[in-house]
Amino acid sequence: MQRTYEANLPANFYDRPTVEVARLLLGKILVHHSPEGLAAGRIVETEAYLAKEDPACHAARGMTRRNAPMFGPAGTAYVYLIYGVHYCFNVVTGQEGEGEAVLIRALEPLCGLDLMLARRRVKERSKLCNGPGNLCRALNITPLLNGHPLSRPPLYLASDGFAGFETVTTTRVGITQAADLPLRFYIAGNPCVSRK
């Protein structure tokens, strides 16, 4: 029998400083009920993107049609296309109008493994969701979910009380601007982290 997860993170969970949310999201569960079935994974790696003094943040130069969801209410999905190939999933954080978010970089697959394997076509469980594009493909997260409130299905976050892990703080991956800021967080020793 497949495990189920309830959407038990309220919208106000995300209405706090972005770096704090990036750390608190570690260990939480990202769940997507798609037409093909349920897929879920534990968040093991995040990156914070700040509106002020962070040129790597999409909102650094103000609101555009593409980044408008970042300026919406905390707890909203921000999904965008990168390199014309991969989707990236972010959680909008902080005060509405600020333009801040947390990029979910990696998940540890928990359920819907057959679905994830079919979508990703890799054999190693640790590689199913080890990167922003990979996790979006594995969970079938697309721009159709851009702007979706993450407190309800079909895409939401849940907590099962997972705790007691060490958090590593380091620099972000794959950016050229503000690459030295310590705004990436991951669960120490987890094999599903995209980069150590």
Name the least confident of 16-30, 32-46, 79-93: 79-93
Band the pLDDT of 65: cuts 50, 70, 90: confident
Whether the predicted pLDDT of 1 surpasses 70: no
- 84 C-beta neighbours (distance < 10 Å), count: 5
DSSP string, 48-105: EE-SSS-TTSTTTT---TTTGGGGS-TTBEEEEEETTTEEEEEEEESSTTS-EEEEEE
Whether the predicted pLDDT of 32 surpasses 60: yes
Q: Which helix (H) or strand (E) holds 132?
A: helix 132-139
Each residue's pLDDT tens digit, 133-185: 999 999 999 999 999 999 999 999 999 989 899 999 999 998 888 888 999 99
Q: Select the more confidently predicted residue: 154 or 51.
A: 154
The mean predicted confidence, pLDDT, of the chain is: 92
Q: In the predicted model, what is the mean pLDDT of residues 30-45?
A: 96
* Domains identified in the chain and CATH numbers: 11-187 (3.10.300.10)
Q: In the predicted model, what is the mean pLDDT of residues 45-65?
A: 86
Which of helix, strand or coil describes residue 154?
Answer: coil
Whether the predicted pLDDT of 2 surpasses 70: no
pTM of the full predicted structure?
0.94
